[in-house]
Amino acid sequence: MASNTVPALQPASLARRLTVIMAVTGLFLAAVLLLAPLVGSTRISLPAAFAGQSPDAQIYFGVRWPRAILAALAGGALALSGALFQALLRDALATPYTLGVSSGASLGAVLAISFRWGSVAGVPMVWIAAMAGAMLTLALVAGVAVEGRRMSSFTLLLAGVTINSIVMSVIMVLHNLASVGQSFAIVHWLMGGVEPLSAPALAALAAVVLPISAAVCWKAREWNLLAVGEEWATARGVSPRRLLMMGYLAGSLLTATVTSVTGPIGFVGLIVPHALRLKTGADHRLLMPASFLAGAAFLVLCDTAARTAMSVEIPVSVVTALVGGPFFIALLRSRRKSLWL
């Protein structure tokens, strides 16, 4: 169960702690983004890359750095969404995929692959269909959960789990009917992965992820109130229904946007907020910006391991599960009193 208290920090103390946390996580992310692209099957020199000398500059800026930026945007969005959903649902095990957004995106992508939809204006239909599937699933879940003028978090959670099961059953049927080539493409997408994007595609992704993430962090005080309880939020002049709708929409948009490009990548939205909560506490004014920066660095490191740990590249979701699963189990055993359990 969620804790019913969020520590109150004085403005001076909050500003000081926020500055320290942002500086530490921001510098760590900057170092990871700078150094991770140097690691790979081909050794390159950082001075040579910045001097524009080929092939170092081509490999660094043309292939590895865009991939690292994509991993950072995806990791930051998933970690922030995880922290947001845990606050909204007051459930320590809530993830960005709790409401079925991932399964809806997966169904859209599988439909695009199965029916061989190409692209529209240069944008792959797999991305478009995945985004549409995620949004339709969210609308369906929200429609089930709205009760009059209220939105039940418990009903929302149950609806998400149920619709997720139904959608995954449809995906299995489509997979069973697919050809060998389509089957391979479906499995490849469902495993999740980070691949280099063009500069315009990265810019478009950043144009969605960064403003929504900033807005979520800006509303951190309201998420604190909701994390305590809807009655507590109402008593302090906040409309729980409006804020819940805003939070679910923002978190789902972040998750759907990232998932439509990378496929489902698990554990980032669960592990990162939990680990940081042990250091920052439950105050979302500290937790949320730290989750975005730390989640970005975490996925960049996992992707670096995914492409270098073996002779063949493995999906980054495999690395996040192998790292995140044991870590989370150890976290539960050693710090169970510090978590919302």
| 256-272 burial: b if 16+ Cβ within 10 Å, else e | bbbbbbbbbbbbbbbbb
For every one of its 341 residues, what pLDDT tens digit does the chain have, with 9 covering 90 and above?
444 455 555 566 878 888 999 999 999 999 999 999 988 888 888 888 888 767 888 888 888 999 999 999 999 999 999 999 988 888 777 888 888 888 899 999 999 999 988 888 778 899 999 999 988 988 888 888 776 666 667 788 888 888 889 999 999 999 999 889 899 999 988 888 898 888 899 999 999 999 999 999 999 888 888 877 777 667 767 777 788 888 888 998 999 999 989 999 988 998 899 889 888 888 899 999 999 999 999 999 999 999 888 878 888 999 998 988 887 777 667 655 544 44
Contacts of 180 by beta carbon, 8 Å cutoff, 6+ apart: none
> What is the β-pairing status of strands 123-124 and 146-147?
unpaired
CA–CA distances in Å: residue 72 to residues 68, 228, 330: 6, 30, 25
DSSP string over 6-56:
-----HHHHHHHHHHHHHHHHHHHHHHHHHGGG-SSS---HHHHHTT-TTH
Contacts of 40 by beta carbon, 8 Å cutoff, 6+ apart: 59, 64, 307, 308
Length of the chain: 341
Per the CB < 8 A criterion, the answer to whether 133 and 108 are in contact is yes
- Euclidean distance between CA atoms 16 and 22, whole angstroms: 10
Q: Residue 123 forms beta bridges with which residues?
A: 120
CA–CA distances in Å: residue 203 to residues 70, 200, 297: 10, 5, 19
